[in-house]
Amino acid sequence: MSSDDMLYDVSDHVATITFNRPDQMNTINGSMLNSLSEYLLQADADNDVRAIIVTGTGKFFCAGLDLRGSDITDNISEGNRGFKNLDLRNTPPTVLHNLDTPTIAAINGSAAGYGMDLALGCDIRVMADGAKLAAAFTARGIVPESGGTWILPRLIGWSKASEIIFTGKTLLAQECEEMGLVSHVVSNNEVHTQALEIAGNIAKNAPMAVQASKRMMRMGMNENFNDHVHHVFLQLLPLFQSEDFKEGMASFMEKRDAEFKGR
């Protein structure tokens, strides 16, 4: 299932969603926003998928929203009236944040605006050494509308996030790595390979345990320690009853690789 502008593929327990508008710097139009949410939800609901990679074709990861002659432009030109029926629950940043399946941004090229926020919304980021993250929001008269004001301070602290957002700063790959915004910086032709390696390592583990771990990490950002420990215990109870838990213990005792089924 793919469209011309968005590609979707599943192989070896890994779903790959690819922005496919290289001639338009992989900018996102209205139909692509819908497709991105649909593909993310489709991958999350697929029991065969244990990790999701988001990437782009060509020289750009995603240069933001396509504001030229699109339905997005029409909504903006209408002011508040154009957004009166906006459903934020099904927009890509919200969908991305609430997925249980781990997500990896394979930042093959520069990401700006909406594209930067989407990359930051993924759990893990691998970045090409020639790529950049451009926080161009305030230079366009807007705020980081796709989760950036929530995510960035939590990743790198208030002071650094403030400087980047208020000044509309563009970050080089090395700066991103030094700040902890990305896990790996590699050459352009190694970005997808590195992302696949990480996704493959995730897929080797018990998928229900991985997904529960992600849920607990997400919940832990907004609760105190005692409440969090209680919620972790509640997550453990069904895992103790799973076939994967039995397989994990058996494979450890038998000194062999586990074969998890997601049950």
CATH number for 193:
3.90.226.10
CA distance 3 to 17: 11
**Are residues 109 and 69 both part of a single domain?**
yes
> How confident is the model at residue 212, as a pLDDT?
94
Let me know if residue 118 belongs to a domain. yes
* Beta bridge mates, 53: 16, 104
Within a 10 A sphere around the Cβ of 55, how many other Cβ atoms?
A: 23
Tokens 């990861």 -> residue:
61
Task: Give the CB-side neighbour count of residue 191, counting CA atoms within 13 A.
Answer: 30
pLDDT in tens, 221-256: 889 999 999 999 998 999 999 999 998 999 999 999
Q: Among 170, 186, 203, identify where a domain stops.
A: 203
pLDDT in tens, 57-112: 999 999 988 877 555 445 444 455 544 555 677 889 999 999 999 999 999 999 99
* Residue 65 DSSP class: B
**Are residues 136 and 236 both part of a single domain?**
no
Q: Which one, of 127, 148, 152, lies nearest residue 55 by Cα?
A: 127
Let me know if residue 135 belongs to a domain. yes
**Are residues 60 and 166 both part of a single domain?**
yes
**Are residues 198 and 220 both part of a single domain?**
no
**Are residues 113 and 234 both part of a single domain?**
no
Let me know if residue 258 belongs to a domain. no
**Are residues 154 and 240 both part of a single domain?**
no
Q: What is the mean pLDDT of the chain?
A: 90
Whether 8 and 2 have beta carbons less than 8 Å apart is answered as: yes
pLDDT in tens, 26-60: 999 988 999 999 999 999 999 999 999 999 999 99
CATH value at residue 228: 1.10.12
Domain, as residue range, for 242: 207-253
Strands 184-186 vs 132-134: parallel, antiparallel or unpaired: unpaired
> How confident is the model at residue 14, as a pLDDT?
97
SS3 112: strand
CA distance 7 to 164: 31
pTM of the model: 0.89
> How confident is the model at residue 84, as a pLDDT?
53
Let me know if residue 217 belongs to a domain. yes
Let me know if residue 261 belongs to a domain. no
**Are residues 217 and 170 both part of a single domain?**
no
**Are residues 246 and 131 both part of a single domain?**
no
Q: Among 203, 219, 244, identify where a domain stops.
A: 203
Question: How many structural domains is the chain composed of?
Answer: 2
Let me know if residue 90 belongs to a domain. yes
Q: Among 166, 182, 203, identify where a domain stops.
A: 203
**Are residues 48 and 144 both part of a single domain?**
yes
Tokens 């504001």 -> residue:
67
**Are residues 39 and 147 both part of a single domain?**
yes
